[in-house]
Homo-oligomer: A and B are copies of this chain.
Amino acid sequence: MTLLRLLVALFCAAAAAAHGVVAAESDGDGKHGDLITSLPGLEKMPDFKMYSGYVTVDKDHGRALFYFFAESQNDPSTDPIILWQQGGPGCSSLVGMMTENGPLRAKVGKKGGVAIDINGWSWNRFANVLYVDAPAGVGFSYSNTSSDYNTNDTKTAIDNYAFLQGWFDKFPQFANQSIWLTGESYGGNYVPQLAQQIITGKDKSLSSRLKGFAVGNPVFSCDAWKATQGNIQANLYYWHGLIPLSIYNEWEQTGCARPYPPSDCDAIMKRMTEMVGDNFDPDNLFSDLSLGNATLGVGPVVPPNETVYALRNTWLNQKDVQAALHVHDDKRKWVTCCAEPGQSGGHCQLNYTNHWADILPLYRLFFDKRPDLRILVYSGDLDIATCPFAYAQLCLSELGYTATRQWQPWRVPGGANQTAGYVEVYPRFTYATVKGAGHEVPQFQPAAAFHMVSKFINASFP
């Protein structure tokens, strides 16, 4: 984790840049052409159906979004549709599909190479789950018009809305099922922005079927945070034992804990970040540590090319895999995130302008226009420098509501009565933490995330 990455991460998002041109094909494939009939590395196809391919969102420009769809293992004909949106901006939702809440898991094959397992905590055990790479330029999505790669929040929300309409045209058998939007990190922007498109858009069916949304460790950019952002970080550092008392005292005595602190505080924060050190993952306090049984593993270390990330990346870039997934075969290399050169994901086809708009007015709009929408905001509590729980809580507090069900632990069935996190219920939304989870909650605490979300959409959480 470079210092640059860390500093950027502190603002709970990664900017994205880079230009380029790709050739592209027309969408064309119908639903049946999108059925996945075999997958390299997967010995036996599972009992549920999977589809992947493209939905064209702008025919004139040749702009098409890639999706992966896993039918429910329960009852696909009645279970809800969950849309999942990754963060970034610029990250592919296949990250969620393959290392968080999706059905496929990469592992080392018995004869080398990458093999695939089915994830026991996949959300498609209770819902039909739809992963979309948005905007064009992300993952396997693309445009024939290179200027489309200059994009932003508004354009993305409009494309996501067009995608959903096009996807239901392709899959009319799901046209009456309820819809939930989910996502994490910058998905905390995408999801409410798409929800706004849906509830204010022309497609009344989509709007009436939208039941709610859930966002994990979301980007907010609210006013309360803008006034005091460094202070949350300084406190999280100090109270996790990452910086010494001396610099924490200096921070407070310089007045950096107050809203709109003096400019000297930037230099103190820079020194704090240096003290934390390079070998720190802002997404997860214990990324490099908790190697089983809370022991610093000086036993076998996983070689870099055998991590679950590396195996996923290798597999998604195999030509046979891309063919099985119906990826248009002249697309560029799949990368986790389109980001600035030097950042994770490197240089690719996206120049995204973050609006950094305050997201709370959208929440107020939902509370006013669609009080029936059920909203869950959750935070993995070990994400202490990307989108920490304290940041979400501060922004939500700006909405001015008082909890109707007091903060309390929640538990997971079969979890030996362990505290899986905490939850409080407000008149128009629920806030929960997931204990021991980093930024990508379903990756770090898959059982907890599974139970929390499945119960939430079934109105039994908490």
For the complex, is A403 an interface residue (Cβ under 8 Å from B)? yes
Query: When each residue 266-301 of chain A gets 1 if its CB lies under 8 Å from chain B and 0 otherwise, what string results?
Result: 000000000111011000101011111111111001
Given A275-B408, A436-B290, CB of A296 within 8 Å of CB of B239: no
Q: Is A296 in contact with B390, judged by CB distance below 8 angstroms? A: no
For the complex, is A82 an interface residue (Cβ under 8 Å from B)? no
Interface size class of A (residues with CB under 8 A): 35 or more
> Among the listed stretches A153-161, A196-204, A411-419, which one makes contact with chain B, having 4 or more residues with CB under 8 Å of it?
A411-419
Query: When each residue 130-143 of chain A gets 1 if its CB lies under 8 Å from chain B and 0 otherwise, what string results?
Result: 00000000000000
For the complex, is A92 an interface residue (Cβ under 8 Å from B)? no
Chain B positions within 8 Å of A412 at CB level: 296, 298
Chain B positions within 8 Å of A416 at CB level: 288, 297, 301
- Which positions 397-423 of chain A face chain B at CB distance < 8 Å? 397, 402-403, 406-409, 411-420, 422
Chain B positions within 8 Å of A293 at CB level: 290-292
Which of A239, A403, A447 has the largest number of chain B CB atoms within 10 A? A239
- Which positions 155-207 of chain A face chain B at CB distance < 8 Å? none
A240 to B237, CA, bound (A): 11
Q: Is B275 in contact with A406, judged by CB distance below 8 angstroms? A: yes
Chain B positions within 8 Å of A407 at CB level: 243-244, 246-247, 275
Chain B positions within 8 Å of A447 at CB level: 295-298
- Which positions 403-462 of chain A face chain B at CB distance < 8 Å? 403, 406-409, 411-420, 422, 424, 433, 435-438, 444-448
Q: Is A381 in contact with B444, judged by CB distance below 8 angstroms? A: no
Given A235-B235, A280-B419, A409-B279, CB of A240 within 8 Å of CB of B294: no
For the complex, is A315 an interface residue (Cβ under 8 Å from B)? no
Which residue of chain B is the closest to A232 with respect to CB atoms?
B239
For the complex, is A241 an interface residue (Cβ under 8 Å from B)? yes
Give chain B nearest CB distance to A414 CB in angstroms: 5
Give chain B nearest CB distance to A268 CB in angstroms: 14
For the complex, is A393 an interface residue (Cβ under 8 Å from B)? yes
- Which positions 226-240 of chain A face chain B at CB distance < 8 Å? 235-236, 238-240
For the complex, is A245 an interface residue (Cβ under 8 Å from B)? yes
For the complex, is A8 an interface residue (Cβ under 8 Å from B)? no
A444 to B295, CA, bound (A): 6
Which residue of chain B is the closest to A302 with respect to CB atoms?
B416
Q: Which of B236, B241, B246, B413 contacts A381 (CB 8 A)?
A: B241
Chain B positions within 8 Å of A422 at CB level: 241-242, 244, 275
- Which positions 310-344 of chain A face chain B at CB distance < 8 Å? none
For the complex, is A394 an interface residue (Cβ under 8 Å from B)? yes
Which residue of chain B is the closest to A435 with respect to CB atoms?
B289
Which of A238, A294, A413 has the largest number of chain B CB atoms within 10 A? A294
Q: Is A246 in contact with B433, judged by CB distance below 8 angstroms? A: no
Query: When each residue 48-71 of chain A gets 1 if its CB lies under 8 Å from chain B and 0 otherwise, what string results?
Result: 000000000000000000000000
Chain B positions within 8 Å of A418 at CB level: 279, 288-289, 296
A407 to B424, CA, bound (A): 37
Chain B positions within 8 Å of A246 at CB level: 397, 402-403, 407
For the complex, is A225 an interface residue (Cβ under 8 Å from B)? no
Query: When each residue 359-386 of chain A gets 1 if its CB lies under 8 Å from chain B and 0 otherwise, what string results?
Result: 0000000000000000000010100000
Chain B positions within 8 Å of A84 at CB level: none
Q: Which of B240, B244, B289, B424 contacts A244 (CB 8 A)?
A: B424
Chain B positions within 8 Å of A243 at CB level: 407
Which residue of chain B is the closest to A243 with respect to CB atoms?
B407
Chain B positions within 8 Å of A123 at CB level: none
Give chain B nearest CB distance to A10 CB in angstroms: 16
**Contact sample, A vs B, 22 pairs, CB 8 Å cutoff:** A238-B390, A239-B390, A240-B240, A241-B390, A244-B407, A245-B394, A246-B397, A246-B403, A279-B417, A279-B419, A284-B294, A286-B436, A289-B435, A290-B293, A290-B294, A291-B293, A292-B293, A294-B438, A296-B418, A297-B415, A298-B412, A298-B415
Not counting A286-B435, A296-B435, A298-B447, a sample of 7 additional A-B residue pairs whose C-beta atoms are within 8 angstroms of each other reads: A238-B239, A244-B393, A292-B292, A295-B444, A296-B448, A298-B413, A298-B415
A residues near B (Cβ < 8 Å) are: 235-236, 238-247, 249, 275-277, 279-280, 284, 286, 288-298, 301, 379, 381, 389-390, 393-394, 397, 402-403, 406-409, 411-420, 422, 424, 433, 435-438, 444-448
